[in-house]
Structure 1
Amino acid sequence: MGNRCTLRWENAVVKSHGKKQRARQKSRRTGAAYASAAAGTTHEHTPLPDMAVLEKLPHAAGRELDLDLAARLVAACRGRCQPCQRTLAGKLRAEQRPTLAALAAAIYATLPSPGFVASPTTQEWARLARAGKTDAAVAAEALAAVETMDDAAASDLLEDALDHWAMGGASAEEIADMVTVVPEAPPRQQSANPMDACREAGIKVVTLDDLDLGDDVDTYHLQPNYGVYVGATNTPDGQDFPMLTLYPETEGAGIEDLERRTDWEHWGLHGMPDMGPRWRLRARIGDRSLQGLVHVDADGRDDIELWRASETVSMPDAWWDLLDRAQHVLIVGPTDPEALQDTADEGKLLAVVARVAFV
């Protein structure tokens, strides 16, 4: 009798161990959480997107990709299934860094900017992704960067990329629209230089540089100038953010002038535009006033001045405190705040995120 009891107990252990082993294998095979696999409650998110486009990216560098895992992860994101997302994302980070790189490159190689809310890891890596779109050596460098990331950095990059994938079309036919999530901006209209036209007509042109008057000459009023409206907006994650809207104040100011003098991007009021690290909004702490909007060269000297305060106006306390917290400001224009949406719809709104320089 004792032997039979012992035998039954051993059989029970063997069966229990076998069940656990099969559950672990199923979990590894399906990407489902172990508890779900053990309970037989694994599920699939459909439709699974066609991820074949990933293999065509130079960032894959000829490496073997797990397209099935990528498809199930994207489908789980679109289905808002957090347990599957965590499990599949962890598997991708641990075992399939080339697939992670391709997933991210499919987004960030096509975007003009990773967006203001992207993690620092993504901000830095996105530059490699864009450059690698047309340069195989840089694409391989982007892949190598992903493979050497620690788990925290890889997690940040993957989460940022999946935010874009989750917004894409759910069918295989819509995958191309999802990959190119930002519409192409209208071409920049570079104004013809009237001085060149004069020279071609045989007219002698003398510029300030030719006169060699030194740095004491104030050229601000020799260029088109702008006025500003103070306002605020919300970042994609719902945070308050200070904003200035530029409007034309002198003859010649407008979209063509801004396109000629800046590298600001066309912005459609979606997400946040790219950061311009050399653009400065100068703000005086003593009286809480704004002084001007300038671009500085590599030596820190002003080389473009779009707006200069003609009088001292103290900013409202709430807005100044917001500026102090953000340390950056969204600059948009040229338009009136009431026409912001119409200007964006016409493709004539330029924008940049500038730094605040407190003086």
Structure 2
Amino acid sequence: MVKSHGKKQRAKNRSRRTGAAHASAAANAVHRHEPLPDMAVLEDLPHRAGRELDAELAARLVAACRGRCQPCQRTLAKKLRTEQRPTLVALAAAIYATLPSPGFVASPTTRAWAPLARAGKTDPAAAAEALASVEAMDDASASDLLEDALDHWAMGGASAEEIADMVKVVPGAPPRQRPADPMDAFRKAGVKVVTLDDLDLGDVDTYHLAPNYGVTLMKTTTPDDQPMPMLVLYPETEGAGIEDLEARTDWEHWGLHGMPDMDPRWRVRARIADRSLRGLVHVGPDGEDDIELWRAAETVSLPEHWWDLLDRVQHVLVAGPVKTPEDPGALQSAGDAGELLAVVARVAFT
């Protein structure tokens, strides 16, 4: 029993932050998280340079991250850092060897190491150097690299077939929670509900059946004063607005201070050929788009300075909705009213 008020509060905060039961959070209990993801893909990475990996340890750590269990994460991450640097390299390389850039949110350690990981895909010498550099890191640097990689693994895992399009969700991982289907109330009342899936109409474009948004290009700065591209959403069809975004996304309420969380499953699609934005989507557990908030109605090439920033940062701060996009004070007003949601999304170039 936790007697101290301070300890109670810390346990409560830990429980809320990690998702663990209050008793487990208070005791910092170590336990297993099921199901464990299949980490066989790590064995195929050249960055292991022939060294033995502990795939079970990696699977347990990733499962703990997906279960938001901070006590298990700390214990397993420490074991990985101190005893299994080759496995740490494999976990990190599965992410950063496939991304064109580690992104602005990555630590300086990861930003410096990522080019070695990318080069190691085709160059055995670079792969061996990537491993050697991690083995030579002090604990703080290794911790930074592992934390950055686990931020991606917490959202999904690598598949051997689509490792170049990280991050995917391993089958069996906990599904993203969605608000209850309002049609369930009718079903419980005995009313027959017919959906598009029931009609079996084949490939139907459902984009215009849900509320849609428009976007306004903006720029912002990160807490360390680095420039970053930004998209501001505004309602374009009936039903679009704060209530719709709250129901269809898990974006956090944002008051224009600090940075919202990054979610790599939210993608801003950009086309290199004409330097245009194509849409804003959420990628579901099957790797397919399951939410589409905005789709470009026509091709418009972006201003050169904005495209160059997008190419360099590889992430976009997405915020909304604002009621009147032409009003320069609309964003601040929405933030002050507590009616602004935001997320940092990845850029997917095609």
Q: TM-score, normalised by structure 2?
A: 0.52
Tell me if 1:304 matches 2:291: yes
Are residues 284 and 142 of structure 1, via their aligned partners in 2, closer, same or farther at CA, if it must alter by over 3 Å?
A: closer
Separation (CA, whole Å) in 1 of partners of 2:67 and 2:224: 24
Separation (CA, whole Å) in 2 of partners of 1:211 and 1:221: 18
Separation (CA, whole Å) in 2 of partners of 1:53 and 1:141: 26
Are residues 349 and 130 of structure 1, via their aligned partners in 2, closer, same or farther at CA, if it must alter by over 3 Å?
A: farther
CA RMSD of aligned residues (A): 3.6
Q: Structure 2 residue aligned with 1:326, among 286, 299, 313? A: 313
Tell me if 1:314 matches 2:301: yes
Q: Summarize the alignment of residues 280-291 of structure 1 with structure 2, pairs less than 5 Å apart.
A: 280-291=267-278
Separation (CA, whole Å) in 2 of partners of 1:296 and 1:150: 36
Q: Is the Cα–Cα contact under 8 Å of residues 128 and 141 in structure 1 kept in the other structure?
A: no
Separation (CA, whole Å) in 2 of partners of 1:285 and 1:277: 20
Separation (CA, whole Å) in 2 of partners of 1:247 and 1:285: 25
Are residues 347 and 191 of structure 1, via their aligned partners in 2, closer, same or farther at CA, if it must alter by over 3 Å?
A: farther
Q: Name the residue aligned to 2:255.
A: 268
Q: Structure 1 residue aligned with 2:201, among 204, 210, 213? A: 213
Deviations 1:41-80 (A, max 9, x none): xxxxxxxxxxx9689857xxxxxxxxxxxxxxxxxxxxxx
* Structure 1 residue 256, shift from structure 2 partner: 1.4
Separation (CA, whole Å) in 1 of partners of 2:283 and 2:259: 22
* Structure 1 residue 156, shift from structure 2 partner: 5.7
* Structure 1 residue 198, shift from structure 2 partner: 3.3
* Structure 1 residue 147, shift from structure 2 partner: 7.5
* Structure 1 residue 204, shift from structure 2 partner: 2.0
Q: Is the Cα–Cα contact under 8 Å of residues 283 and 356 in structure 1 kept in the other structure?
A: yes
Q: Name the residue aligned to 2:344.
A: 353
Q: Name the residue aligned to 1:204.
A: 192
Separation (CA, whole Å) in 1 of partners of 2:185 and 2:256: 37
Separation (CA, whole Å) in 2 of partners of 1:201 and 1:145: 53
Q: What letter is aligned with 2:270?
A: A
Separation (CA, whole Å) in 2 of partners of 1:254 and 1:321: 30
Deviations 1:131-158 (A, max 9, x none): 446xx5556546767887934427869x
Are residues 339 and 129 of structure 1, via their aligned partners in 2, closer, same or farther at CA, if it must alter by over 3 Å?
A: same
Q: SS of the counterpart of 1:355?
A: strand
Q: What letter is aligned with 1:229?
A: T
Structure with higher helix content: 1
Are residues 191 and 151 of structure 1, via their aligned partners in 2, closer, same or farther at CA, if it must alter by over 3 Å?
A: closer
* Structure 1 residue 309, shift from structure 2 partner: 0.7
Are residues 140 and 151 of structure 1, via their aligned partners in 2, closer, same or farther at CA, if it must alter by over 3 Å?
A: closer
* Structure 1 residue 219, shift from structure 2 partner: 0.5
* Structure 1 residue 318, shift from structure 2 partner: 0.7
Q: Among all aligned residue pairs of Structure 1 and Structure 2, give the percentage whose two residues are the same amino acid.
A: 66
* Structure 1 residue 345, shift from structure 2 partner: 2.0
Q: Which consecutive residues of structure 2, in runs of 5 or more, have no partner in the other structure?
A: 12-27, 29-60, 84-136, 146-177
Deviations 1:84-139 (A, max 9, x none): xxxxxxxxxxxxxxxxxxxxx9xxxxxxxxxxxxxxxxxx99x8699446xx5556
Q: SS of the counterpart of 2:301?
A: coil
Separation (CA, whole Å) in 2 of partners of 1:156 and 1:191: 34
Q: Structure 2 residue aligned with 1:295, among 275, 282, 292? A: 282
Q: Summarize the alignment of residues 158-237 of structure 1 with structure 2, pairs less than 5 Å apart.
A: 193-214=181-202, 216-237=203-224
Q: Summarize the alignment of residues 71-220 of structure 1 with structure 2, pairs less than 5 Å apart.
A: 131-132=68-69, 137=72, 140-141=75-76, 150-153=138-141, 193-214=181-202, 216-220=203-207
Q: Is the Cα–Cα contact under 8 Å of residues 129 and 142 in structure 1 kept in the other structure?
A: no
Q: Is the Cα–Cα contact under 8 Å of residues 245 and 331 in structure 1 kept in the other structure?
A: yes
Q: Is the Cα–Cα contact under 8 Å of residues 81 and 143 in structure 2 kept in the other structure?
A: no
* Structure 1 residue 217, shift from structure 2 partner: 0.7
Q: SS of the counterpart of 2:318?
A: strand
Q: SS of the counterpart of 2:217?
A: strand
Separation (CA, whole Å) in 1 of partners of 2:73 and 2:276: 45
Are residues 227 and 56 of structure 1, via their aligned partners in 2, closer, same or farther at CA, if it must alter by over 3 Å?
A: closer
Q: SS of the counterpart of 1:269?
A: coil
Q: Name the residue aligned to 2:230.
A: 243
Separation (CA, whole Å) in 1 of partners of 2:73 and 2:299: 49
Separation (CA, whole Å) in 1 of partners of 2:242 and 2:185: 21
Are residues 132 and 296 of structure 1, via their aligned partners in 2, closer, same or farther at CA, if it must alter by over 3 Å?
A: closer
Q: Computing the radius of gyration over CA atoms, which structure comes out larger, 1 or 2?
A: 1
Q: Name the residue aligned to 1:119.
A: none
Are residues 56 and 139 of structure 1, via their aligned partners in 2, closer, same or farther at CA, if it must alter by over 3 Å?
A: farther
* Structure 1 residue 197, shift from structure 2 partner: 3.7
Q: Is the Cα–Cα contact under 8 Å of residues 226 and 247 in structure 1 kept in the other structure?
A: yes
Q: Which consecutive residues of structure 1, in runs of 5 or more, have no partner in the other structure?
A: 1-51, 59-104, 106-123, 158-189
Q: Is the Cα–Cα contact under 8 Å of residues 224 and 251 in structure 1 kept in the other structure?
A: yes
Q: What letter is aligned with 2:347?
A: V
Q: What letter is aligned with 1:221?
A: H
Aligned residue pairs total 209
